[in-house]
Structure 1
Amino acid sequence: MATQSNKDAFMGGLMNLFKEQWQADVLLKAGDSDDGAAIPAHKLVLAGRSEVFKDMVEQGEFKASSKLETITLSEMKHGEVEALVEFMYSVDGSISCRSLGKHGRSLYLAADKYKILHLRDLCRHHLIQSLDSSNALSIIELAQIPFDKDLHDAAFAAINNNLRPIASSDEFKLFVEKYPNLTVEIMKASLTWEASPNHIHLGGNRYCGHCGSYCRFCGYPND
């Protein structure tokens, strides 16, 4: 009869290999770390999770070398690389809320760069759920590099829902200089939204007749 303890041991086997550094054959190093802080990993696991890492470890110098080669992720910090590697060793494709809360943006960018699409989906979902007036501008900026329509649309709607406090911030002034065309789109959308008969103000909050709630991510009606 199958037991939970046996299942847990089976599911945790891959992570145990990582923690024990058993026959690790590659090192991952963050841009802010020295060689002594590199994280041991397994080429097979990296290649199985990411086509980009697969291409890296298939290069001639990796195949021919008898020593432990190092891959430097120069754009990441040590804690971010740790979170990335732990995700790649997870069996169920999950990542902790703590890792997402602490490293969500950098993991989102890393997931896109290294083509780890499931991780990018998880990070996008976390970023959308965390949207508010304090971070909407930085998240819509994140959605431009590379362009991510779902993240962009969610941040765009959040900005329109909170335009007054956002427009009076110093961050918005810098945003206007950096993204003048996007700023024009935001202001035009806000004017259209305010004028739409589908939206009325209740106690300072916008109520959406289009989706029937205090819409945060609905955006403005297309009618």
Structure 2
Amino acid sequence: MSTSSIAANVQEDKMVTTVRPNQYAYTWEIQNCSTWLATVKGLQSSFQFPYDESVTEKWVLNFNPRSSSEPDYCSLGLEIVNTPLDSKAKIEVEFELSMETSTGCIIQKSTFECDFAKSNTWSYSKFIKREMLLEKVKIDDQLFIKCKIVTDAKVSNDKKLTKKLPETLPGSLSNDLKNLVDGEKYGDVTVQVADQRFLAYKGILSARSSVFASMFEHDMLETIENCVTIDDIEPDVFRELLRYIYTDQLTLTSMDTMAHKLYTAADKYDIATLKSLCRRHIMAKLRWKTAADTLVLADMHNDHEMKQETLQFLSGSVAVNVTKTTGWKTMVQTHPHLVNETVWALAAKLPPT
């Protein structure tokens, strides 16, 4: 047997050690919510979850439509009902409890960290005001109670039997197309942005953006002269927009420095995936210094999801700091109605006097 034939069929054994947290997500859907709230009394519990029988750790959501200590509020809690731990052991748990409408609008959301012992229960007696909950679900009378749980990391060792195969070269399509962003050959349309010109490709622009497609399909000046003038986007922003159109990729640096501007461009040119990426980055980086600007952005582009999450953020303890920012002061002048919406969001979270 030749050396080459041995190398081509070599068998490789592996042991794979992984460390990963136990993560669970659970949704409790309540239909005819207003009737249910008026009918049930006392503590209501979900099924035990996760449903997977191989998972020994089981949890239950506990909901009380009238909190025992605060009757005007609904309480929501988490209980561990089965665990492989002994009676004295504890597990560290990070969990998120939220209530949402059928459209995904967040009514209330909070994140907690707690040590759970065996048969341990945790509850938030003032999770949401009953009157507010009824108001939020009255459109279609549906409530979704959601829970996300992350517990202690689990170490597992697995045997892995693999057959070594010849390596293939990695795909280069994205990198090859990325070279077109600053290229000066072969393009069939020129895009003039301020004092910079970009050579682009009608086919790619049209395939990725319905706005560009509509522009090139009709006998518009852009089609006749093969030149498009854009005067409301900065050249650097358009370059990143073009990079995404060609490669479906963005750099972390560009997102950190121009996410708001890219979001605006994505909305204008109907590039939904880019808009979604920008929205996710903006909300992940939401801080009191950027909250007012983000609220204005969401309002200008009719982004209900972003707007509601930002108002929820503003209704917390950061509100005082936000009012000191330049973004807030500008918003007061240009979008005064958002000040009222922020005040209403804050008032909804304050306890009754």
Alignment deviations for residues 73-104 of structure 1 (CA, whole Å, 9 cap, x no partner):
211111111111111110xx221111111221
Alignment correspondent of 2:83: none
Q: Which has the higher helix share?
A: 1
User: 2:182, 2:328 → 1: CA distance?
Assistant: 44
User: 1:153, 1:55 → 2: CA distance?
Assistant: 32
User: 2:327, 2:184 → 1: CA distance?
Assistant: 44
- Contact 1:29 1:81 (C-alpha < 8 Å) held by counterparts: no
1:43 and 2:202 are equivalent in the alignment: yes
User: 1:26, 1:159 → 2: CA distance?
Assistant: 45
In the TM superposition, residue 136 of structure 1 has moved relative to its aligned partner by: 0.2
Question: Which of the residues 28, 36, 50 maps onto 2:191?
Answer: 28
CA pair 166-9 structure 1, distance change in 2 beyond 3 A: closer
CA pair 97-40 structure 1, distance change in 2 beyond 3 A: same
Q: TM-score, normalised by structure 1?
A: 0.74
User: 1:167, 1:116 → 2: CA distance?
Assistant: 33
- Contact 2:255 2:278 (C-alpha < 8 Å) held by counterparts: yes
User: 1:171, 1:17 → 2: CA distance?
Assistant: 37
Letter in 2 for 1:145: M
User: 2:329, 2:293 → 1: CA distance?
Assistant: 13
Q: Which has the higher strand share?
A: 2
- Contact 2:312 2:345 (C-alpha < 8 Å) held by counterparts: no
Q: TM-score, normalised by structure 2?
A: 0.48
Alignment correspondent of 1:52: 211
1:152 and 2:307 are equivalent in the alignment: yes
1:73 and 2:230 are equivalent in the alignment: yes
Q: Report the more deviating stretch, 69-78 or 109-118.
A: 69-78
1:143 and 2:298 are equivalent in the alignment: yes
Alignment deviations for residues 120-149 of structure 1 (CA, whole Å, 9 cap, x no partner):
001111111111110100110011112101
In the TM superposition, residue 58 of structure 1 has moved relative to its aligned partner by: 2.0
Question: Which of the residues 100, 106, 120 maps onto 2:275?
Answer: 120
Letter in 2 for 1:166: V
Alignment correspondent of 1:164: 320
CA pair 111-10 structure 1, distance change in 2 beyond 3 A: closer
In the TM superposition, residue 54 of structure 1 has moved relative to its aligned partner by: 0.9
1:12 and 2:175 are equivalent in the alignment: yes
Runs of at least 4 residues of structure 1 off by over 6 A?
none
- Contact 1:27 1:38 (C-alpha < 8 Å) held by counterparts: yes
CA pair 4-99 structure 1, distance change in 2 beyond 3 A: farther
In the TM superposition, residue 150 of structure 1 has moved relative to its aligned partner by: 1.5
User: 1:39, 1:190 → 2: CA distance?
Assistant: 47
1:84 and 2:241 are equivalent in the alignment: yes
Letter in 2 for 1:75: D
User: 1:96, 1:190 → 2: CA distance?
Assistant: 36
* SS of residue paired to 1:195: coil
Letter in 1 for 2:239: E
- Contact 2:295 2:307 (C-alpha < 8 Å) held by counterparts: yes
* SS of residue paired to 1:147: coil
Alignment deviations for residues 44-95 of structure 1 (CA, whole Å, 9 cap, x no partner):
1101100110111223255555xxx2212211111111111111110xx221
1:184 and 2:184 are equivalent in the alignment: no
- Contact 1:28 1:40 (C-alpha < 8 Å) held by counterparts: yes
In the TM superposition, residue 167 of structure 1 has moved relative to its aligned partner by: 2.8
1:195 and 2:351 are equivalent in the alignment: yes
User: 1:26, 1:42 → 2: CA distance?
Assistant: 6
User: 2:200, 2:292 → 1: CA distance?
Assistant: 36
User: 1:134, 1:38 → 2: CA distance?
Assistant: 35
CA pair 86-144 structure 1, distance change in 2 beyond 3 A: same
Percent identical pairs in the alignment equals: 23
* SS of residue paired to 2:232: coil
1:96 and 2:259 are equivalent in the alignment: no
Q: How many residues align?
A: 186
